[in-house]
Structure 1
């Protein structure tokens, strides 16, 4: 379906463009998109639509739905010049992008669809007011006020923090543990994309690197999966489940050497990183008790509390990646589930946050909330320890993030 302009040029019909033209003429956001949708449905069978016919149809729908008075109050000219909104920061300006704005809003834990709707409304208001320039600070303030009004203070604080992650005085290290098949890798990747953290490292990758250094004869525990390590152990009088957990713990200890080296490197280079993998449980417990110096560290476990959901994930996993056959994991499902349940139990004992990945979008939002909440607590704790006054609730939304803290009274344990 293409629109034929007066000069006979042809352009694809785009509902969003029609809606924005209506917004420029003065129609509110929701009404503009409704009229654009109804207009599109009327021409669905047409290959070519003369622009004048498109205009007349849209006007007729406005008249039918909202009355003649609404149409008369709108700007009559259809041939409006392209309206470009620019965002200013200092002397520089860049084109406004509702996609990037939605992206930054989603980093506060707002579902993707709602984040895009909010960004569209911000753009629509600017178009309606014919405001072609807005400072970055003003744009940030508008979004933050909307989040405060719609979702509450905590979400507004999350938006402030997530928008200034690159200004933090220390790197952010997020450790995401979880059993095999719980979806931790997909959640970690999504989290990294939303927060702008480009380094997402799996502990299996660390184990693979260590295998190049330590041969199977030297360290056999590195050369088999976490659910099968127990088969290498000969523990007298121990039940099968005890061997599974003993093997898992031993492999986690060995891989932990590489994990700690990765954390030290990230702190040294002041580079934020997300670590994910089944081997992180001992480190999650250690960090919870004694966080490392020189970084903000967040710990969380991904779980699938329903065993049937967990088992069915392996079939979906096999379809997405032929190199990960379902039968290979189902043979070890009992051991995999034993490790999973052990991790959940230990995290509950050590008060480590657990996110149930029953539904991916919900779990993704909950994961961001967990990370932002923990990071906010650490930032506020540093302020309190450095003697800064605790901000008031409304003032806390305006207080800067990223001011270097004063020397701590008590040194934390180094990783």
Structure 2
């Protein structure tokens, strides 16, 4: 199937036919998702032999299908709204032209510690403003200015500033290094994935994976703690007489394991710094000692570093999380974790004490959505604090564009 291009003769643009975007538009005209999907699919099949179609021709064909298959208010609503209005074009700083994506716009707002429902509302108002004022082409700078204005009205000045700071942060390609520590079952990988999706970070690393690689390279006889779970490492090795109780054994074994894994962590973080890319590293081995090892490299870069210690302070909730983890992936062997739940809780106490002593943010993970928003809020506040001297210039740059007053 060839790529069908949609030609807008009015503003001399050509964009691919995007069935998903048409489905959303048809839903706004009153169709249920299944019906909207079928209309978009039928239209694409009808145009299978075509290489391009004009927006006027496309509207006529859509209207014909709607009148035939869905008579009533839907065709009228479609004509009234001008449903193929996704033809809005955003012109980048280098002259590139891309369709305005409401999904991408929402995602960028979610990066600024704005609740999802508000993000959707803000994007809808921005999009409606452009349609209402018949703006078919807008520069990325004008779009930023318009969005900033809407956030000020719909949320507050602080979040509007966050939006400008985050956009400036991305524009300058500064790397963000997010470290998420916590015991097994605390939800580190789930939260890391959610934050990565919200912020558009493509590089994530688990310390468990690094440990697996090291296990292949280093025999168990040379490093028994490396080949054990974090909460059982002390049982796998000879413990000096100085460490004479169970808690000491747990701490000593985990300490030995962590020191080895930190070497691999240091290498992947250094690679991210060399390439100037953002990265999320999560795992039980994220501790202040790792941050100390990286301190010199981080200080010499433009990177923003955000360490987080994830906790589950309620034992029953931690057990529930572990059981849920097991139901999603049977290979994780939740039974082994549940049998060692007291050791895991002791390990968590150690990690929390270390984090508290170093003023690292501790978040009690109760709900994924809330925890994700908390972390994004910490990230944007950290960035805002580091680049606070930029905010006045950014307000002047984007607050004076009068496109939002049209």
- TM-score range (shorter-chain normalised) is 0.7 to 0.9
Deviations 1:196-255 (A, max 9, x none): 221100111111122222111111111111000011343446221221122112211111
In 2, are the aligned partners of 1:172 and 1:272 still within 8 Å (CA)?
Answer: yes
Q: Confirm whether residue 17 of structure 1 aligns to residue 17 of structure 2.
A: no
Residues 58 and 199 of structure 1, relative CA distance in 2, 3 Å threshold = closer
Offset at residue 137 of structure 1 (A): 0.9
The aligned counterpart of 2:287 is 281
Q: CA deviation at 1:170?
A: 4.3
Corresponding position of 2:345 = 337
CA distance 1:79–1:354, change in 2 (3 Å): closer
The residue aligned with 1:192 is 196
In the TM superposition, residue 292 of structure 1 has moved relative to its aligned partner by 3.9
1:141 aligns with 2:141: no
1:394 Cα deviation (Å)? 5.0
Give the distance between the partners of 1:151 and 1:248, measured in 2 at CA. Answer: 45
Query: 1:235·1:243 contact (CA, 8 Å) conserved in 2?
Result: no
Matches within 5 A, 1:28-47: 36=30
Q: For structure 1, which runs of at least 5 residues remain unmatched after alignment?
A: 1-10, 22-35, 44-48, 60-73, 381-389, 401-415
Deviation at 1:303, TM superposition (A): 1.2
The counterpart of 1:168, out of the listed 169, 172, 177, is 172
Partner of 1:103: 107
User: Is it true that 1:257 corresponds to 2:263 in the alignment?
Assistant: yes
Deviation at 1:146, TM superposition (A): 2.2
| 8 Å CA contact 1:284, 1:299 repeated in 2 | no
Partners of 2:239 and 2:252 within 8 A in 1: no
CA contact (8 A) 1:300 1:354 kept: yes
CA distance in 1, matches of 2:397, 2:238: 55
Compared CA separation, residues 87 and 330, structure 1 to 2 (3 A):
same
Distance 1:261 1:316, change over 3 A: same
Structure 2 distance, partners of 1:288, 1:19, is: 50
Higher helix share: 2
Distance 1:57 1:192, change over 3 A: closer
Q: How high is the TM-score relative to the length of structure 1?
A: 0.73
Q: Does 1:207 align with 2:207?
A: no
Match of 2:133 in 1: 129
The change in CA–CA distance for 1:79 and 1:203 in structure 2 (over 3 A counts) is closer
Consecutive unaligned residues of structure 2, counting only runs of 5 or more, are: 1-18, 36-64, 399-406
**Residues 111 and 361, structure 1, Cα contact 8 Å, conserved in 2:** no
- Kindly provide the CA deviation profile for residues 15-64 of structure 1, in whole angstroms up to 9, marking residues without a partner as x: 9535755xxxxxxxxxxxxxx4xx97xx9xxxxx97399675579xxxxx
Contact kept in structure 1, 2:152 and 2:160, CA below 8 Å: yes
Structure 1 residues 289, 94: CA separation in 2 closer, same or farther (over 3 Å shift)? closer
Contact 1:109 1:155 in 2 (8 A): yes
SS at structure 2 position matched to 1:344: helix
* TM-score, with length taken from structure 2: 0.75
Q: Is the 8 A contact 2:25 2:84 kept in 1?
A: no
* Correspondence for 2:239: 234
Evaluate the alpha carbon distance shift between residue 169 and residue 55 of structure 1 in structure 2; reply closer, same or farther with a 3 A threshold: closer
Q: 238-247 vs 319-328, which deviates more?
A: 238-247
* Aligned equivalent of 1:155, options 141, 152, 159: 159
* Separation of aligned partners in 2, 1:205 and 1:324: 13
Distance 1:397 1:351, change over 3 A: farther
The partner residue of 1:346 within 354, 379, 388 is: 354
SS in 2 for 1:134: strand
Partner of 1:217: 221
Question: Structure 1 residues 276 and 326 mapped into 2: Cα distance closer, same or farther (>3 Å)?
Answer: same
